[in-house]
Copies of this chain bind each other. A is one copy, B any other.
Amino acid sequence: MRLSLNTATVKRATLAEAARLCADNGITGIGPWRDAVDAAGGPKAARALLDSYGLTVTSLCRGGFFTSPGGEEDTRRAVEEAATLGTGELVLVVGGLPAGTKNLPAARQTVADAIERLVPVAARHGVRLAIEPLHPMFCADRAVMSTLSQVLDLAERFAPHEVGVVVDTYHVWWDPELFSQLARARGRISCYQVCDWILPLPEDMLLGRGHVGDGHIDFAPITQAVLDAGYHGFAEVEIFNQSIWDTPPSETVSTITSRWQKTFP
């Protein structure tokens, strides 16, 4: 499996710097966030930049937040940006409970309804809606969809090229149904993201992710199951961690590369 650098891992770097670091380290894929694309002059300019380094754009992060005002409209723009950027996978974080509400089934229905409306839009652009189940600890504030099983239930209402799933080790490693659901996801794995579960979690639980190998996740069997499900794409390293963000990006990318070689020999 080839390696891809998600730009969130090197938050301080510009897209140009991230692309050069990829090239310097033999990394052939990149997964940009939209803010990095914007800062690089928009998706057209970003595509030219990434093309100049021969990088495959493995996904665009992200659309979604359908339970907040404006989320669906913003996701329509993200679909166009993904198409312009040359990636067929738009990562979606579906959103948490609407402010002031506690009705989880209703929030999930809001998400399903938005996806249904977006599928034809995305399909016209050749972009797959790649729904990411987030760790259950983000259920209230970020994603009312927490498991692969739950996302596949929704995705399977559509064609495999229309709606896929993001498998992020951080979010799914604990799931007792992980391996059966990965097998079920055949043809629908849009993106495989890796980072490790480290303890203790920091005060901002969003930022508690670690370099592959620093935590509790057993990556080899998960990666094998992703491969067995017919996934031929990249492993995208996406790590939210303040101390990693405070590290020089060149050092971070070097660590990523060596960890990768060690963990997936």
Mark contacts of A141-157 with chain B using CB atoms, 8 A cut-off: 1 yes-contact digit, 0 otherwise.
Answer: 10001110110000000
Mark contacts of A164-207 with chain B using CB atoms, 8 A cut-off: 1 yes-contact digit, 0 otherwise.
Answer: 00000000011110000000000000000000010111111100
Are the CB atoms of A103 and B218 closer together than 8 Å? Answer: yes
Mark contacts of A113-147 with chain B using CB atoms, 8 A cut-off: 1 yes-contact digit, 0 otherwise.
Answer: 00000000000000000000001110111000111
Residues of B with C-beta under 8 A to A102: 216-218
Which residue from B104, B135, B197, B205 sits with its C-beta under 8 Å from A218? Answer: B104
Closest Cβ–Cβ distance, residue A25 to chain B (whole Å):
26
Measured as residues with beta carbon below 8 angstroms from the partner, the interface class of chain A is 20 to 34
Closest Cβ–Cβ distance, residue A36 to chain B (whole Å):
26
CA distance A188 to B42 in the complex (A): 57
Closest Cβ–Cβ distance, residue A99 to chain B (whole Å):
11
Are the CB atoms of A216 and B97 closer together than 8 Å? Answer: yes
Are the CB atoms of A174 and B205 closer together than 8 Å? Answer: no
Q: Can you list 19 A-B pairs with a CB-CB distance of less than 8 A?
A: A97-B216, A102-B217, A102-B218, A103-B218, A104-B173, A104-B218, A135-B137, A136-B136, A136-B174, A137-B137, A137-B201, A140-B174, A140-B216, A141-B199, A146-B176, A149-B176, A201-B201, A201-B203, A202-B203
